Each structure stands twice: as C-alpha cells, then as structure tokens.
Amino acid sequence: MNVLLIGSGAREHAIAWKMRQSPRLASLCVAPGNAGIAQLADVAPLAIPKPGAGAVQVAAFLDAVVALARERRADLVVIGPEDPLSFGVADRLEAEGIAVFGPTAAAAEIESSKAFAKDLMARHGIPMGACARFDGYDAAAAYVESRPCDVVVKADGLTAGKGAIVTSSHDEACAALRDLMLHSALGAAGRTVVIEDRLDGRETSAHAFSDGRTVVHMPFACDHKAVYDGGRGPNTGGMGVYSPPSWLQASVAEAVRRDVTEATLRALRQEGRPYRGVLFPGIMVTAGGPRVLEFNARFGDPETEALLPRLESDLLEIMDAVASGTLASVDVRWRNDASVCVMLASGGYPGAYETGKPIDGLDDIDSGVLVFHAGTKRDSSGRIATNGGRVLAVTATGATVGEARERVYANVARIRFDGMHYRTDIGASEAVAV
Ligand code: GLY
C-alpha cells in the first residue's frame, strides 16, 4: 500500500516507524514531517493552518492534501493531529474517494468543541464532573463564585493542550477567565469557555480504534502534563508517558471501556456522527469512579510514543481496516511489557523559546531505545537542530515501568542541546497505591 501521513510531531514519527514494519507498506510519504521522519520516509512540504484560519486558507490546505494524495497514489491517508480533522480533511478525502484514517469534522467535534462534548455526555449519561458553558465573562465569573470547590477553566476550541487552566482559588479562576474571554489569550478558541469542578484522583489516557461499529481498546497510558517535576508549573502538550498503569484496577478499566469509550462511540453513531479513527478519552479516576476530563479525536502525543512500541500487530493492517470498516476481522495484540517515554523540550517551553539549537548525542543511543523527533530540522550545515517547543520523545521498554524508566533516563542523559529541559519523574509514581 502507498500511504500518506499528515503531521510533523513525535506522534507521527512513531506512527511512521511502526508502519515501516508492515509487509503491506509499499511507500510512505509524510507531510510535512521533520528531520527524524525524513530518515525513514519521503517528506513533502505542507502548511497546516492553525485553528481559526480563514476559509480560503483552509480550502487551499484541503486541495493540497488531495493533490498530494493523488500524486503519491495513496491507498490510505492517515491524519495525525487534530487541526486538519477539524477543517474536514477526512470529509474531503472521502468525497474524493480516497480512504482515510481519521474522523469527519462532525465526529471530531468531540475534541474541537469542549461544549459539544459536554452536551453529548450530558445527553447520554457519560460520567463527567459538574460543568457549565459560557460565552460572556460576567456570567462565567458569577458561576465560579457560586461553586463550592476549585474549578478548571477550559477554552472551548483547539489549543494544542494549553487550553485547560487548573485553578486553586476563585481569584485565579477569574483571572483565567479574563485572559481567555476579555484579552483573547488563546484567540477565538477561548471566547467560549467550559468551567468544570476540579476533580481529585489520578489521570489516565484511554485509547481505542473504531471503524464506526467495532471498537478495539488499547492499553492505558498516563501522561504528565505539567512542565515541571511533581506536577508543578503550567500545562504542556505532555512531558512524558508511562504504560501500563498497574494502579488502575481491572474493574475501573472495564468501566472506562464500557461506560466512556463504547458509550461515546455509540452516542456519536446514534446522533449521526459515526466515528472512524482513534478516540482518546482523558480520564480522572476519582473515589466515585472514572470521570471524563476531555476527549481527543486522534492518538495522544506523547501517548503514541509509549503505546506503539508495545503493539505487536501490524499498525497498517489496523488502520486500513478502520478506514474500510472491517476492524472486526483484525486480531490486535499488545506485548505484555511496559514503556516509558520522556519528552525533551526547548528552554522556555511551554512559553516562548528559541529554535535552531544543534542536538548532540543522537548517535549514542542504546539499541532498542527509540528517539522520536518532534520539533527538529536539518540546519544549514546538515546537523539536526531544534525546531519547536517539544523536540524529542525518548522511549524505552522493559519488563516493568521501573525497568523502562531506568533505561530511558540512562539514554536521555546522553542527549544535549542548549536550553534542553525535561521531567525527571516520568513513571516515578506508577507503583504508588491510591
Ligand atoms: N498528551 C495529551 C494529548 O495528546 O492531548
């Protein structure tokens, strides 16, 4: 098969790496890709518009994807990130008769509009914390004052993981509302907000493949969203992941699969939005059971970099079956091991950062340890250099999370670039009972 993969992060590097192992793969083109992806696939330029882009820019993007798919004679187009899904890239490819892995814009609204997701959950009894949606600052601030607990303020639209502000006082919550609603800190994405009660518990990421009918669950994984050790500092797109969480009881895992993932896929189908692709609910496991924090309409990043090294089966076969509605015929197997992924970030991330810093140590990595590139490029002298906030995702596997952790940090210590920072506690609390 000829495959076109859209995206440029470590998630897409991990997907490309896993696809390369498939005997079904004839050619792989990734657009726009990065310096690491270019080592294992053709890369092609592609400008992916940001949320809020104008209709002309979006139309040009959709035309460019179709043209690239035709030029590469793609049998399957795989969409990595959320922004292209929200622009309707899957709808357009389907209309052109090109097979696509990724949901339609209507189905992807489960991620692109927090308000839609909350309303859907309310209509179908899917467990979540108390929440309300607001278009104006005064009513939102009054709601915050009325809550007997701390709250999380969430921008309604897509924000690359930066739209959930966890607050510890009503003053902090009102400051977040002012930033989003009055000062447009996150542009149009934050003019409507959802305010949720802050839930106590432990977070986990559930992932499942769906072809619209059949659901195949993946192992659970746990992201570390805050930038600094111990969960301190602002949220990022994700600083590291371990899988599986041994603290997650089997009965709770089953409740997530049944009452959240399967219930949501059924609800979307019933409401005329059948879902094809990966559904990734972010879950808080509370004393009262699992509650949905958010939905994502794609693989998590860096969850993918920890999950795919544990996948035994052929990823291309699975994705092809999702696109063609034949997932029930595929036997999907996972290895019974553990993985830890550590994200290496640019100085200043998730705030402002510089790029173009040469990266050393990439040729001094143990066999079996994986380095997935996120924001990287070749500089004018051909060296691999930084080109984004999150730069590299380093993953190791082992019999336990503890063993994978030791291996991954031994290798992280050999990689260097000016300003590099990372969390040193990814997976450290995995075995701590709750
Ligand atoms: N790691 C969180 C996300 O991909 O949204």
What is the Rg, in whole angstroms, of the alpha carbon atoms belonging to the chain? 21
Which pair of tokens denotes residue 127? 């467990």
Question: In the prediction, which pLDDT does 363 show?
Answer: 96
Give the confidence band of 433 by pLDDT, cuts at 50, 70, 90. Answer: low
**CA atoms of 131 and 365, how far apart (whole Å):** 46
> Does residue 49 have a cis peptide bond before it, meaning omega lies within 30 degrees of 0?
no
Distance from Cα 12 to the centre of ligand 1, integer Å: 13
Q: Which of 7, 429, 16, 53 is nearest to 240 (CA)?
A: 429
Residue 128 is classified by DSSP as B
Question: In the prediction, which pLDDT does 430 show?
Answer: 82
Q: In this model, does residue 161 exceed pLDDT 80?
A: no
Share of the chain above pLDDT 70, in %: 99
Q: Which of 84, 6, 92, 18 is nearest to 51 (CA)?
A: 84
Count the neighbouring beta carbons within 10 Å of the beta carbon of residue 80. 26
Tally helices (H) and strands (E) across the chain.
13, 23
Question: In the prediction, which pLDDT does 388 show?
Answer: 97
> Does residue 244 have a cis peptide bond before it, meaning omega lies within 30 degrees of 0?
yes
Using an 8 Å Cβ cutoff, are 308 and 15 in contact? yes
The minimum-distance atom of ligand 1 relative to the CA of 238 is: 1
Count the neighbouring beta carbons within 10 Å of the beta carbon of residue 296. 21
Burial class (CB in 10 A: 0-12, 13-18, 19+), 96: middle
The predicted-structure confidence for 273-332, as pLDDT tens digits, reads as follows: 999 999 999 999 999 999 999 999 999 999 999 999 999 999 999 999 999 999 999 999
Domains annotated on the chain, with CATH = 2-109 (3.40.50.20), 130-197 (3.30.1490.20)
The upper half-sphere exposure of residue 88, i.e. CA atoms within 13 Å in the direction of its Cβ, equals 13
The minimum-distance atom of ligand 1 relative to the CA of 298 is: 4
Strand ranges (E), 37-89: 42-43, 76-79
- Find the mean pLDDT for residues 368-384: 97
The predicted-structure confidence for 363-374, as pLDDT tens digits, reads as follows: 999 999 999 999
Distance from Cα 241 to the centre of ligand 1, integer Å: 10
User: For a pocket test of ligand 1, which of 301, 308, 395 has the largest count of ligand atoms closer than 8 A to its C-beta?
Assistant: 301
The predicted-structure confidence for 79-94, as pLDDT tens digits, reads as follows: 999 999 999 999 999 9
Strand ranges (E), 257-355: 276-286, 289-296, 338-345
Nearest CA residue ID for atom 5, ligand 1 = 300
Residue with tokens 């040729």, as numbered in its chain: 363
Distance from Cα 17 to the centre of ligand 1, integer Å: 19
The minimum-distance atom of ligand 1 relative to the CA of 300 is: 4
User: For a pocket test of ligand 1, which of 114, 159, 203, 223 has the largest count of ligand atoms closer than 8 A to its C-beta?
Assistant: 223
pTM over the 0.85 mark = yes
- Find the mean pLDDT for residues 402-421: 98
Q: 215 pairs with which residues across the strands?
A: 210
Nearest CA residue ID for atom 4, ligand 1 = 300
Sign of CA dihedral 185, 189, 194, 200: negative
- Find the mean pLDDT for residues 239-249: 97
Q: C-alpha dihedral over 407, 358, 374, 47, to 10 degrees?
A: -170
**CB under 6 Å to ligand 1: residues?**
161, 223, 237-238, 296, 300-301, 303
Distance from Cα 281 to the centre of ligand 1, integer Å: 10
**CA atoms of 101 and 274, how far apart (whole Å):** 13
Residue 365, helix vs strand vs coil: coil
Distance from Cα 45 to the centre of ligand 1, integer Å: 24
The minimum-distance atom of ligand 1 relative to the CA of 301 is: 4
Distance from Cα 282 to the centre of ligand 1, integer Å: 8
Distance from Cα 296 to the centre of ligand 1, integer Å: 8
Q: C-alpha dihedral over 403, 407, 412, 413, to 10 degrees?
A: 110
Distance from Cα 1 to the centre of ligand 1, integer Å: 29
